[in-house]
Amino acid sequence: MTAAASSYAVLPADLSTDRNTIVSLWVSNLGHPERRQDKYDWFYLRNPAGAPRVLLAHSPAQHGTPIGVIGLGTRHMRLAGQPIDAGLLADFGVVAEHRTLYPAMLLQTSLRDQFLPQLGLIYGFPNPKSEPVVRRLGYAVAGPMVRYVRVLRSANYLPARLPRVVRHSLGRTADWWRHTLRRTQYAHDFSGVFTQWMDQPDARFDALWAAQSTQALLIGVRDRRYLAWRFEQKPWKKFRFLTLNSRTNGLIAYSASEVIGHVLHIRDLLCHPDHPNSLSLLLDTLFRDAHSDGHTSVSFEFLGPASMQQTLRRLGMMARGQRNVMFTTAGQNTDAIRHTPWYLTSADEDY
């Protein structure tokens, strides 16, 4: 039976002494027990932006058993070129017997009231069950994270009623057009540039990040240090970088991707603002290589400028679903945050 509302208390967690309690709550509420210890070390102890905050809900009251948890990771960002810090909602869960609205609201309210005045911006990617809770706390929708998909093997998506031989013949023809002929038609665009697959970022990534300083965006820091932590040092995932390089101007675009099953997932990408065709050249190579490696499709979740969305659609990436990014803000940057376009990829999440 759920405890009365007055018997709950939310207190700060100590990352050194409350580790076992926090991990246990994650395992019982968030699943994936095999990766929770690694997640704690990676996200909570080695975050380059500083140690995240964690709150625990106790019942009965402050001396009771921890029954809920919520985290807030620090994310260094730029708002129209100016550095700001934001809080990223993470690892929110309440044990089953206390899974009513009050404990969930108490955790979210306590986190907002304690840390929003310090940071000025808190954002997150709530699942459908959590979204009503954050909406009641005054969170607004920053925009949709749209999942774009580019089919690489057309035969898999043709009507099953067609004979198998016909499906494969039509599929190979469509794939040849999309991956071979199309590339030869504008091969001249690759003059002076080359692509390279890498396992870790190098110093050139800092120069590409520095080139973003004039962009009128709200964008998370993507320097070499952050990318190495987010992708290279993540213990339960394997990522690779595809880089597009100018022979005279260095790195002009990159993508970070991982393979799950037969799908190649783009988890992040960034292009030099002075090279408007870099996104097309980068993704064209990515599609070709993914097709050669036997993948069936490429997927990319993204919230960003309309011009980039148009390019993704022009390259054959079709919208296949979306989820809302929620945020709340306070302080002197409130108006700018609400009216500046956001740039978010999976690199801006905590998983």
CB 294 within 8 A of CB 120: no
pLDDT at 157: 62
Residue 175: pLDDT over 70: no
Residue 243 corresponds to which tokens in the numbers above?
Answer: 């880089």
Global pTM reads 0.90
**Cα dihedral value 289, 294, 299, 305, nearest 10:** 20
Residue 100: pLDDT over 90: no
pLDDT at 130: 80
Among 268, 152, 148, CA closest to 205: 268
- Rounded distance, CA 316 to CA 312, Å? 7
- Rounded distance, CA 56 to CA 138, Å? 22
- Rounded distance, CA 120 to CA 101, Å? 26
pLDDT at 58: 95
Tens of pLDDT, residue by residue over 249-288, are: 899 999 999 999 999 999 999 999 999 899 999 999 999 8
**138-161 average pLDDT score:** 83
Q: Cα dist. 152→60, 156, 173, 257, 329 in Å?
A: 55, 9, 12, 16, 41
Tens of pLDDT, residue by residue over 5-35, are: 668 999 999 999 999 999 999 999 888 899 9
CB 70 within 8 A of CB 54: yes
Domains and CATH numbers, the chain: 5-138 (3.40.630.30), 146-326+333-338 (3.40.630.30)
pLDDT at 178: 63
Tens of pLDDT, residue by residue over 190-209, are: 778 999 999 999 999 999 99
- Rounded distance, CA 127 to CA 196, Å? 36
Residue 338 corresponds to which tokens in the numbers above?
Answer: 């609400």
DSSP 349: S
Residue 97 corresponds to which tokens in the numbers above?
Answer: 């017997």
